[in-house]
Amino acid sequence: MEDLVYVAAPYNDPNPDVVNERMKRLTKQVAQMMSSGMHVFCPNIYLHPIAQIGELSTRWEYWESYCRAVLGRCQKMIVLMFEDWKLSTGVEFEIKIAEEEGIPVEYVMPTVGFEDEDDEPFNEFKLPDWEELKMRKERGEVLCPIDEFVYSNEPAAPEEAKAWRGEMSQVLDAAYMLGLQVGLKR
């Protein structure tokens, strides 16, 4: 039997146009994953029309028990690193649930974006602020692999750090722009 993969991605936003654009890109990304032979379940895609048509809440608290039940049946989780993925309450809790259940978590840069040639790339990679990472570590938070890499490797001297950050951002941007998936296993 094939592994079932749970796909986590940010959903909510105060602007409904942002939610609709996220759903469009997410659906394209999941379709691409399915066409490659993966067996995936993405709660956003499944729950979005149900919440809209059934006039249900879209808040994480409403859907948590459902997502927990489905995730518990999966053998792996992929976190799609769309913009603001680190700010998503749902993604944060889905990662914690996967860790509690011993489900491997893989972080993947999306390979689909806007269709219009005139639009800007939606996911320009920005390295996290080191001071913010330090505060998060002090609070005992578990950092994703990219954040942990930045926290552990950024040079202390300000000028060296600035050059290092520029080089790292260029490498990650180039990987994204080439459409490469950067899979980082936890």
The amino acid at residue 175 is A
113 and 152 assigned to the same domain? no
Q: Which helix (H) or strand (E) holds 108?
A: strand 105-108
Answer with the residue of higher pLDDT: 110 or 117: 110
Indicate if the alpha-carbon torsion angle 80, 83, 87, 88 is positive or negative: negative
Chosen domain end from 97, 122, 147? 122
The amino acid at residue 127 is L
- The answer to whether the beta carbons of residues 136 and 143 sit under 8 Å apart is yes
Q: What is the pLDDT of residue 9?
A: 92
Q: CA–CA separation, 156 vs 35, rounded Å?
A: 45
Query: Taking the complete model, does pTM exceed 0.85, yes or no?
Result: no
Structural domain of 25: 1-122
Q: Please check whether residue 186 lies inside any domain of the structure.
A: no
| Local structure of residue 6 (DSSP, 8 states) | E
Answer with the residue of higher pLDDT: 15 or 178: 15
| Local structure of residue 85 (DSSP, 8 states) | G
Q: How many domains does the chain have?
A: 2
Residue 7: which CATH number? 3.40.50.10400
Q: Whose CA is closest to 43, among 90, 106, 99?
A: 90
**Planar angle of CA 108, 15, 147, nearest 5 degrees:** 30
Q: What is the pLDDT of residue 122?
A: 42
The amino acid at residue 38 is M
Distance from chain centroid for Cα 19: 15
Q: pLDDT tens-digit profile of 71-115?
A: 999 999 999 988 888 888 889 999 999 999 999 999 988 887 644
Residue 183 has pLDDT above 60, yes or no: no
Strands 105-108 and 76-80: parallel
Q: Whose CA is closest to 86, among 100, 103, 107, 67?
A: 107
131 and 153 assigned to the same domain? yes
Residue with tokens 């059934």: 54
Residue 14 has pLDDT above 50, yes or no: yes
72 and 96 assigned to the same domain? yes
